[in-house]
């Protein structure tokens, strides 16, 4: 068989950092060891029944057996507009300020290609979602990661961006509630973001994947709630987390009309549209009862309390996340994120994600998903205690 070489662009792109971690995990699982999976980022609950039934009905409609309209079906765009009006008090024009695509990842990958030129810079946070650091290279652009720290609630300080970086910056990408830190944006932070973006003529993209999950009575804010935000940027959302529709591949963007038009044009060229029945099910999710969403948030909050409480009880002083379904835990003294993850795998048979995979500023942390039942979270803490990893310092 002849081996053909990938393009220079693809060769220059980094591989998936977590692939090596996954290979080690697979090796342990295949050996027959019972591993507790806290490294995962995929929801573990089923899609609510009414949404599944809506798909079943919609799949039988003749209108959904042909190509769907570019940019999304009208009923879904209308449902998105109604959802934003009802939940956030934000008024959107379904025709010009909303577009639909096959999952939020499609938009995250497309936006740098649609908005950046070679040599331009996209600003994001470090640590942050790994896709943010990879996708700008598709446009031969660069990434600057603003360091975010626990003492600042993992919110960036725009004043720290070097002038030479700011002069080449053409896009600001944010994500709150945040993966991996679990941080939640404040009203003031979003207001400061609008002022900063306006002053430097930067479009803002806010990835709102974990919109439904804020804890301790605090509901995450939509960026578009901020005065002036709709004029300055867009918000990217997904059905994957809020409605446990991860495999359905349905997402949308809302906000600034020129950015929506640009994203829609790129999507029309580079991607196929979403199956119409999936769009109808998404509309049903948005306009139907939100009880399942509230129950899901409560479930993650209970799991958070169990995991954080049980880890603190064994002597690991971890912080409690304010949102998302992740814990972002500082590793014990003497470890890096990688050496601690390796120790957990080998000695406790507990899997977590090394923080360095989310950026250089994540090397003192591990990410733990709240995607296992409460009894397994308690068991994970007990395994960590019995393994002795908290008492053994590695260098």
Q: Residues 133, 144: contact at Cβ < 8 Å?
A: no
**Mean model confidence pLDDT for the chain:** 95
Q: Whose CA is closest to 330, among 365, 362, 361, 358?
A: 365
Measured from the Cβ of residue 102, the count of other Cβ atoms closer than 10 Å reads 18
> What's the rounded Cα separation, in Å, for the pair 366 and 369?
10
Give the domain ranges of the chain: 8-46+292-387, 49-287
CB-count burial class (<10 Å; 0-12, 13-18, 19+) for 277: buried
What is the pLDDT at residue 375? 98
Name the β-bridge partners of 100: 252
> What's the rounded Cα separation, in Å, for the pair 226 and 236?
15
What is the pLDDT at residue 355? 97
Q: Per residue in 41-62, pLDDT tens?
A: 889 999 999 999 999 999 999 9
What's the whole-number mean pLDDT along residues 372-385?
Answer: 98
What's the whole-number mean pLDDT along residues 191-208?
Answer: 98
What is the pLDDT at residue 392? 61
Per the structure block, which two tokens stand in for 237? 């959302």
CB-count burial class (<10 Å; 0-12, 13-18, 19+) for 254: buried
* Structure letter (DSSP) for residue 346: I
* Structure letter (DSSP) for residue 344: I
> What's the rounded Cα separation, in Å, for the pair 63 and 154?
46
Enumerate residues 6+ apart whose C-beta is below 8 A from 122. 112, 116, 132, 136, 141, 142, 143, 144, 169, 170, 171, 172, 173
Is the model's pLDDT at 19 over the cut of 90? no
What's the whole-number mean pLDDT along residues 9-35?
Answer: 82
Enumerate residues 6+ apart whose C-beta is below 8 A from 309. none
- 49-287 is classed in which CATH architecture? 3-Layer(aba) Sandwich (3.40)
Question: Range with the lowest mean pLDDT among 78-87, 123-132, 223-232, 263-272?
Answer: 263-272
Coil, strand or helix at 126:
strand
- What H or E segment, with its residue span, contains residue 259? helix 257-270
Higher per-residue confidence, 240 vs 25: 240
β pairing state of 142-147 and 121-126: parallel
Q: Residues 102, 272: contact at Cβ < 8 Å?
A: yes
Percent helix, strand, coil in the chain, to 5, is 45, 15, 40
Question: Range with the lowest mean pLDDT among 18-22, 123-127, 279-283, 356-360?
Answer: 18-22
Q: Residues 125, 178: contact at Cβ < 8 Å?
A: yes
Q: Residues 334, 364: contact at Cβ < 8 Å?
A: no
Measured from the Cβ of residue 210, the count of other Cβ atoms closer than 10 Å reads 24
What is the pLDDT at residue 27? 85
What's the whole-number mean pLDDT along residues 379-390?
Answer: 96
> What's the rounded Cα separation, in Å, for the pair 264 and 276?
17
Is the model's pLDDT at 268 over the cut of 90? no
Q: Whose CA is closest to 322, among 155, 163, 103, 204?
A: 155
What is the pLDDT at residue 112? 94
Question: Range with the lowest mean pLDDT among 14-28, 81-95, 249-263?
Answer: 14-28
Q: Per residue in 93-147, pLDDT tens?
A: 999 999 999 988 899 999 999 999 999 999 999 999 999 999 999 999 999 999 9
Topology of domain 8-46+292-387, CATH:
3.90.1150
> What's the rounded Cα separation, in Å, for the pair 207 and 75?
23
Per the structure block, which two tokens stand in for 373? 């039942």
E strands, 42-120, are 98-101
């Amino acid at each position: 068989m002849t081996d053909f070489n990938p393009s220079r662009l693809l060769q220059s792109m980094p591989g998936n950092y977590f692939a090596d971690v996954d290979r080690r995990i697979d090796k342990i699982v295949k050996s027959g060891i019972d591993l507790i999976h806290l490294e995962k980022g995929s929801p573990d609950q089923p899609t609510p029944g009414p949404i599944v039934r809506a798909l079943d009905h919609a799949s039988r409609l003749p209108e959904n057996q042909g190509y769907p309209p570019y940019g999304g079906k009208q009923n879904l765009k209308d449902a998105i507009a109604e959802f934003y009006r009802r939940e956030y008090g934000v008024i959107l024009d379904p025709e010009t300020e909303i577009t639909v695509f096959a999952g939020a990842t499609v938009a995250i990958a497309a936006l740098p290609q649609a908005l950046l030129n070679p040599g331009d810079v996209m600003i994001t946070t470090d640590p942050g979602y790994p896709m943010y650091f990879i996708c700008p290279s598709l446009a031969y652009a660069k990434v600057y990661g603003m360091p975010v720290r626990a003492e600042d609630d993992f919110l960036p300080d725009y004043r720290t961006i070097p002038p030479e970086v700011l002069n080449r910056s053409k896009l600001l990408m944010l994500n709150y509630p945040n993966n991996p830190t679990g941080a939640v944006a404040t009203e003031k932070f979003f207001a400061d973001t609008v002022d900063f973006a306006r002053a430097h003529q930067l479009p803002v993209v806010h990835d709102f994947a974990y919109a439904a999950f804020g804890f301790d009575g605090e509901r995450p804010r939509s960026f578009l709630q901020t005065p002036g935000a709709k004029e300055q940027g867009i918000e990217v959302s997904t059905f994957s987390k809020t409605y446990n529709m991860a495999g359905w591949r349905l997402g949308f963007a809302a906000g600034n009309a020129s950015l929506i038009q640009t994203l829609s044009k790129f999507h029309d060229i580079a991607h196929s549209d979403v199956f119409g029945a999936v769009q109808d099910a998404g509309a049903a999710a948005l306009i139907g009862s939100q009880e399942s969403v509230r129950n899901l948030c409560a479930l993650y909050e209970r799991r958070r309390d169990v995991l954080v409480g049980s880890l603190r009880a064994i002597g690991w002083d971890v912080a409690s996340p304010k949102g998302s379904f992740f814990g972002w835990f500082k590793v014990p003294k003497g470890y890096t994120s990688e050496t601690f993850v390796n120790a957990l795998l080998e000695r406790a048979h507990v899997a977590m994600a090394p923080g360095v995979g989310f950026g250089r500023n994540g090397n003192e942390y591990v990410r733990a998903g709240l995607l296992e039942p409460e009894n397994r979270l308690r068991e994970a803490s007990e395994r960590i205690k019995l393994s002795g990893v908290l008492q053994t310092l590695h260098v």
